[in-house]
C-alpha cells in the first residue's frame, strides 16, 4: 500500500470555524505550505477572519517565521461560507464552539461534501473523541487534533485516537504535523481531557483550593507557578524533571502530600462566582484579576510578544537536544583523530 503523502504542498486542508483558534491554525497551515479552505459557519466570522489571519501572517513575517509575505499566502487561502468548497480537502479541522450539538451539525455538513478518504478531526479541548466520532458517518477516519493557542507559534499538538479511529490516520497526522513545526504527542487510546488538560486541570483545581482555603492569594499562587514550573517546563517534562532532581525525594513526598491534595469533584466556588457574575477574563476585564481596557490590551500584546520569544528558546532546546549534543561530540572526536 502506498503511504499517503506528508508533503503539505500536496495536501489541501480545510478549517471550519474561524474564531480565535481557527484563524491561528489557518496561519500555521498556510506557512507550512498547505492550500487552505477556511469555512465560516457563521457570517460573523467573516468580519474578523481575513483581518486576523493577515495580522498573524504579517507578524510571523516580521518575526522571520516565514520568508513570504501575507499576500503570497492569501493567494493560497479561500475564506468562504460555502461548505462545498471543502470538497478537494484531504484533511478538515473542525474548530467550532465547544458544544456537542453544534459540532454534530457541522460534521453532517462537512461529511456531505468531503471525499470518503478525507480525514476529519476536531480541535475539541475536552469532549471525548469517541463521543464525537459516534456522530459521524466514517468514524474510522475521525480523530482529535488538539492545538494550543497561538497555533502558528506553539509546538504543542495532541493527536488523539477515539475507540473507532484507525491508528494509521493518527500516525499520518503525527508525521505530517512535524511539517507544521510541532513536537506532537500521539494519544493512542481515548481519555477525557487527553494528556495536557488532565495535567493542567489537576493544577487549576489545587490552585483554586489553596486560594479558597486561605493559604495563599491568587497573586501568590501565580508567582509560585511562574517561577517554579515556568523555569523548567520548556526544557523538560515532569518525568525528566523528577530524574534531574532526584526520584527518591518525590517518592518520599508523595506518601505524605498526596492524601492532602484537593480531590474535589465540583467546580471550585472561586471560578463559579466569577462566571456567574459574567466574568470572562481579559476579554471583558473581569476574571481572577480585574483589568482596565489598557491593561487588558497590554496583557494580550505581551502574551503575543512572549509567545515568539519562548518559541525561540524552545527551538534552541528541542526534545532531542541531548542526542544532538552526543552526535556533535562524536563528530568532533572523529575530526580530531
Ligand X SMILES: NC(=O)c1ccc[n+]([C@@H]2O[C@H](COP(=O)([O-])OP(=O)(O)OC[C@H]3O[C@@H](n4cnc5c(N)ncnc54)[C@H](O)[C@@H]3O)[C@@H](O)[C@H]2O)c1
Q: Are 92 and 110 in contact (CB under 8 A)?
A: yes
CB of 19 or CB of 162, closer to ligand X: 19
CB of 113 or CB of 210, closer to ligand X: 113
User: DSSP code of 15?
Assistant: E
Report the nearest approach of ligand X to the CB of residue 181 (Å): 17
Report the nearest approach of ligand X to the CB of residue 303 (Å): 11
CB of 8 or CB of 41, closer to ligand X: 41
Q: Are 135 and 118 in contact (CB under 8 A)?
A: no
Q: Element (H or E) spanning 68, and its range?
A: none
| Site of interaction with ligand X (CB under 6 A) | 17-22, 41-42, 45, 95-98, 102, 106, 123-125, 146-147, 149
CB of 21 or CB of 208, closer to ligand X: 21
Alpha-carbon 13 to chain mean position: 17
- According to DSSP, the β-strands at 91-94 and 77-80 are unpaired
Report the nearest approach of ligand X to the CB of residue 330 (Å): 40
Sequence-ordered list of residues with C-beta below 8 angstroms from that of 43, at least 6 positions apart, any chain: 81
User: Cα–Cα distance between 166 and 145 in angstroms, integer?
Assistant: 14
Report the nearest approach of ligand X to the CB of residue 7 (Å): 26
The x, y and z cell numbers of residue 115, run together, are 471525499
Nearest residue to ligand X, scored by beta-carbon proximity: 19
Report the nearest approach of ligand X to the CB of residue 141 (Å): 19
- According to DSSP, the β-strands at 157-161 and 142-147 are antiparallel
CB of 123 or CB of 165, closer to ligand X: 123
CB of 96 or CB of 153, closer to ligand X: 96
User: Cα–Cα distance between 266 and 138 in angstroms, integer?
Assistant: 35
Report the nearest approach of ligand X to the CB of residue 246 (Å): 34
- DSSP secondary structure letters along 203-241: HHHHHHHHHHTTSS-HHHHHHHHHHTHHHHTTT--HHHH
Amino acid at each position: 500500500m502506498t503511504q499517503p503523502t506528508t508533503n503539505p504542498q500536496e495536501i489541501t486542508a480545510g478549517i471550519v470555524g474561524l474564531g480565535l483558534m481557527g484563524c491561528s491554525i489557518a496561519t500555521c497551515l498556510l506557512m507550512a505550505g498547505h492550500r487552505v479552505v477556511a469555512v465560516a459557519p457563521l457570517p460573523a466570522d467573516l468580519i474578523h477572519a481575513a483581518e486576523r489571519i493577515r495580522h498573524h501572517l504579517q507578524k510571523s513575517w516580521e518575526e522571520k517565521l516565514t520568508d513570504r509575505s501575507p499576500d503570497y499566502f492569501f493567494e493560497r487561502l479561500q475564506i468562504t461560507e460555502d461548505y462545498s468548497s471543502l470538497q478537494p480537502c484531504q484533511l478538515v479541522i473542525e474548530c467550532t464552539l465547544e458544544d456537542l450539538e453544534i459540532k454534530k451539525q457541522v460534521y453532517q455538513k462537512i461529511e456531505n461534501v468531503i471525499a470518503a478518504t478525507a480525514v476529519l478531526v476536531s480541535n475539541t479541548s475536552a469532549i471525548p473523541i469517541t463521543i464525537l466520532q459516534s456522530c459521524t458517518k466514517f468514524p474510522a477516519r475521525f480523530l482529535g487534533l488538539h492545538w494550543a493557542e497561538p497555533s502558528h507559534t506553539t509546538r504543542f499538538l495532541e493527536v488523539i485516537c477515539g475507540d473507532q479511529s484507525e491508528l494509521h490516520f493518527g500516525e499520518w497526522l503525527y508525521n505530517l504535523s512535524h511539517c507544521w513545526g510541532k513536537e506532537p504527542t500521539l494519544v493512542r487510546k481515548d481519555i477525557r481531557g487527553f494528556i495536557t488538560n488532565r495535567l493542567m486541570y489537576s493544577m487549576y483545581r489545587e490552585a483554586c483550593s489553596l486560594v479558597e482555603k486561605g493559604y495563599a492569594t491568587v497573586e501568590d499562587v501565580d508567582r509560585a507557578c511562574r517561577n517554579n514550573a515556568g523555569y523548567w517546563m520548556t526544557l523538560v517534562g515532569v518525568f525528566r524533571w523528577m530524574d534531574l532532581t532526584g526520584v527518591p525525594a518525590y517518592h518520599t513526598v508523595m506518601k505524605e502530600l498526596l492524601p492532602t491534595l484537593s480531590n474535589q469533584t465540583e467546580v471550585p466556588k472561586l471560578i463559579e462566582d466569577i462566571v456567574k457574575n459574567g466574568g470572562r477574563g481579559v476579554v471583558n476585564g473581569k476574571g481572577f484579576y480585574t483589568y482596565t481596557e489598557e491593561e487588558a490590551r497590554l496583557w494580550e500584546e505581551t502574551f503575543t510578544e512572549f509567545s515568539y520569544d519562548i518559541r525561540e528558546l524552545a527551538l534552541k532546546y528541542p526534545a532531542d537536544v541531548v542526542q544532538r549534543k552526543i552526535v556533535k561530540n562524536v563528530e568532533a572526536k572523529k575530526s580530531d583523530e
